[in-house]
Homo-oligomer: A and B are copies of this chain.
Amino acid sequence: MFAAVRYNRTLHMSLIVVGSVAYDGVETPHGKIDRMLGGAATYIALAAQYFTPVGLVAVVGDDFAQEDTDLLASRHINLDGLERVAGGKTFFWAGVYSADMNDRTTLRTDLNVFGDFNPKLPESYKLEPYLFLGNIQPALQSSVRHQMNGVKVTGGDTMNYWIKDFRAELLETLKQWDFLLINDSEARMLSGEYNLRAAAAMVQAMGPKTLVIKRGEYGAILFHGDRHFMVPGYLLESVFDPTGAGDSFAGGFIGYLAGRGLDLQESHLDFADLRRAVIYGSVMGSFCCEQFGVERFRTLTRQEIDARYTEFKNCTDF
């Protein structure tokens, strides 16, 4: 059951987020943290909950700290779908960023309980209308999709590993998606096209009619049907830690759509709403970079988010 009291369920619909909840060890030019809360689903849920009620589907070990559960619960994120494996350890990833923070090297990946992740949805999740499938094996993404009975908008993320070694499985999965968020190198790998307009057309033909190509500090491009929308990256005064920025973008994007009850059908959708979702995604990604890990989300307010949205407009309008 949703613990949320902030939302009126008759007005707001809600979002199921599936993916990794993890511990990260991160080193950037600004410092080093040996172990902190991380994982794609964590960032997506923390960003999305500013816009809509969220239910999480993930797996952790019994080393998962009460304070981290408390953080998620304090944001009214439903944790009925957070499986705890007794005697298991939580997914751990460690990496170090280059001096310019545009590259990172993975130092360690211990999948632990995430290696056997086989997401099963609580009954309370199955009728929700929005589904974001984080970067896990495409067959598992399909399995989750099939457990949802009333889903209106399905989409998510993937990565080079699945594109390269699980291509057929991924293509089967993508057929059912309304949207896909990937970075530019993944879009090129998936499509076999270097030019991003050509790449987008190829990817859209695979299923997701709405495609967001993320370009890190350079912004993002939205493709929807035969239209596109370009947004530059928000220019931060200081980038502290880029970990989770892409996932926070995803959370802002799908959170905004879900919060507004929008679907992605060409006939219903106002393209302006979709543009706004991309800006909210950019805004959430930019906040994420301002502090280590999920730290910024401990204090961030909806008022700050909306102020940055306005600032974004002021810095790009002509």
A interface with B by C-beta (< 8 Å): 99-100, 194-198, 215, 218-219, 221, 228-239, 272, 275-276, 278-279, 313, 315-318
What are some 28 contacts across the A-B interface (CB < 8 A)?
A99-B194, A100-B194, A195-B237, A195-B239, A196-B235, A197-B235, A197-B236, A198-B237, A219-B232, A221-B232, A228-B315, A229-B315, A229-B318, A230-B232, A230-B233, A230-B234, A230-B316, A231-B232, A231-B316, A231-B318, A272-B318, A275-B317, A276-B318, A278-B318, A279-B318, A313-B318, A316-B318, A317-B317
CA distance A236 to B238 in the complex (A): 31
Contacts of A221 on B, CB cut-off 8 Å?
232, 235
**A317: nearest residue on chain B (CB-CB)?**
B317
The docked-state distance in angstroms from the alpha carbon of A239 to that of B198 is 12
Number of chain copies forming the complex:
2
Q: Which residues of B contact A197 (CB under 8 A)?
A: 235-237
| Complex interface: chain B residues within 8 A of A228 (CB) | 235, 315
Closest beta carbon of chain B to A101's beta carbon, Å: 9
Assess the A232–B235 pair: CB atoms within 8 A.
no
Smallest Cβ-Cβ distance to A273: which chain B residue:
B318
For the complex, give the distance between the alpha carbons of A100 and B196 in Å.
11
- Chain B residues with Cβ below 8 Å from A239 are 195
Given B99, B230, B276, B279, which contacts A235 in the complex, CB threshold below 8 Å?
A: B230
Q: Apart from A197-B235, A228-B315, what 14 extra A-B contacts exist at CB < 8 Å?
A: A100-B194, A195-B238, A197-B236, A215-B218, A218-B218, A218-B232, A221-B235, A228-B235, A229-B315, A229-B316, A279-B318, A313-B318, A316-B316, A316-B318
The closest CB in chain B to the CB of A29 belongs to B194
Shortest CB distance A216–B (Å): 10
Q: Could you tell me the distance in whole angstroms from the C-beta of A54 to the nearest C-beta in chain B?
A: 24
Residue on B nearest A102 in the bound complex, by CB:
B194
How many angstroms from the CA of A198 to the CA of B239 in the assembled complex? 12
Q: How far is the CB of A120 from chain B (nearest CB, A)?
A: 39
Complex CA gap A187/B239 in Å reads: 18
Distance between A196 CB and nearest chain B CB, rounded to angstroms = 6
User: Which residues of chain B come closer than 8 Å to A275, judged between CB atoms?
Assistant: 317-318
Question: Which chain B residues lie closer than 8 Å to A198 at the CB level?
Answer: 237
Contacts of A232 in B (CB 8 A): 218-219, 221, 230-232
